[in-house]
Amino acid sequence: MNSPTTHFVTSRRMGIYEPMHQISMWGDFEINGCQKTSATMIAEVDPKLDSQSEDTSHETQGQLYKFDQEKSKHSDKKLRRLAQNREAARKSRLRKKAHVQQLEASRLKLIQLEQELERARHQGLYLGGGGLDTSPIEYSGSVNSGIAVFEMAYGQWVEKHKRQISDLRTALTSHMLDNDLRILVEGSMNHYGDLFRMKATAAKADVFYLMSGIWKTSAERFFLWIGGFRPSELLKVLVPQLDLILTEEQVFDIYNLKQSCQQAEDALSQGMEKLRQILAEAVASGQLGEGSYIPQMTMEKLEALVRFVNQADHLRQETLQQMYRILRTRQAAQGLLALGEYIQRLRDLSSLWSNHQPDPS
């Protein structure tokens, strides 16, 4: 088979001189008495014209090949972009579907809670323990609906937190891409933000309940500090898990963050201790009033107690966010996994102790 170049030259030759089979049929001919011109003489002119034709052919083909390459690259980019858009749309639909399902489940649980609250009002019982202690607690013959809602919401928060821990563990072992891993990390950070907002509402409903830690397991209550964990303790848990993959700059930033946390904790602890003494003196001297009457000064102290809880939660949230800014995406995922596993081990420790049956002998 003739190459593309050969075919082009042949076409060119035919376009200029007439096809070769016609020349052979005409034979030699004369024009105005000139010497006859044969096909051999025409053939002698061909090499120069052929060379020019081949050069033009190669140049044209090179331009066409380059154009085809650019067109192919543009097409590949367009296909990749379309595939990425389809995948993003698919994930968005899945998240929306999950969110709708979660809202529907919450609506059904809220209906169930309202029914339980109605039954509890008739029984004069208080729903305590955040779902962790099923025995009801006597509480002034009425039910604090704000705390009951918090307990239900916190139970849902714990279940979702367990799923997030599992998702982070799977993502890290499967070497998920950073962009997809970042979605899980940000989801986990937002989940802690939901907890702090829930606690702020619960503190307004009953600040003593929130600070007592009844909604937590016994092992978690052992480490309780103003209604939650100490931020500096959080750093003590995370840093050993990340020590081998931290840069010098990250180590320095985390050290400064730890120092700031401890200073803020000391200030809050001192303020809490003074407030506790003032409240204790008010109770001892009978300054709380009688019946439903509470003196204005006492109300101000109780509101100050709520502010202390909110400030402690703000410090916890700021510590998490600062760690997230210091760490890279994969490091942040490992840190959140370490924190989640630590909290889960505390819950497991409580279960082990409560199920422990000492040997009578």
pLDDT tens by residue, 148-164 = 999 999 999 999 999 99
The answer to the question of residue 267 being in a domain is yes
The dihedral built from the CA positions of residue 230, 231, 232 and 235, taken in this order, carries a sign that is positive
The predicted pLDDT at position 6 comes to 43
251 and 290 within one domain: yes
186 and 311 within one domain: yes
Indicate if the pLDDT at residue 294 is higher than 90.
no
The dihedral built from the CA positions of residue 167, 111, 147 and 216, taken in this order, carries a sign that is negative
82 and 228 within one domain: no
Is residue 37 within 8 Å of 29, Cβ to Cβ? yes
The predicted pLDDT at position 44 comes to 45
255 and 114 within one domain: no
CA 246/CA 289 separation, integer angstroms: 57
323 and 217 within one domain: yes
Is residue 309 within 8 Å of 203, Cβ to Cβ? yes
Indicate if the pLDDT at residue 74 is higher than 50.
yes
Q: Which helix (H) or strand (E) covers residue 49, if one does?
A: helix 39-123
212 and 81 within one domain: no
CA 18/CA 96 separation, integer angstroms: 73
From the list 124, 128, 303, the residue with the least C-alpha distance to 212 is 128
The answer to the question of residue 297 being in a domain is yes
The predicted pLDDT at position 76 comes to 78
Query: By residue range, what is the domain housing residue 151?
Result: 145-354
The answer to the question of residue 16 being in a domain is no
Name the band, by pLDDT with cuts 50, 70 and 90, for residue 112: low
274 and 204 within one domain: yes
Indicate if the pLDDT at residue 23 is higher than 80.
no
The answer to the question of residue 39 being in a domain is no
The domain boundary, picked from 130, 164, 195, lies at 130
Name the band, by pLDDT with cuts 50, 70 and 90, for residue 216: very high
156 and 101 within one domain: no
The answer to the question of residue 188 being in a domain is yes
Indicate if the pLDDT at residue 62 is higher than 80.
no
Indicate if the pLDDT at residue 262 is higher than 60.
yes
From the list 261, 271, 147, 135, the residue with the least C-alpha distance to 198 is 147
Q: Count how many domains the chain has.
A: 2
What is the average pLDDT across 83-96? 81
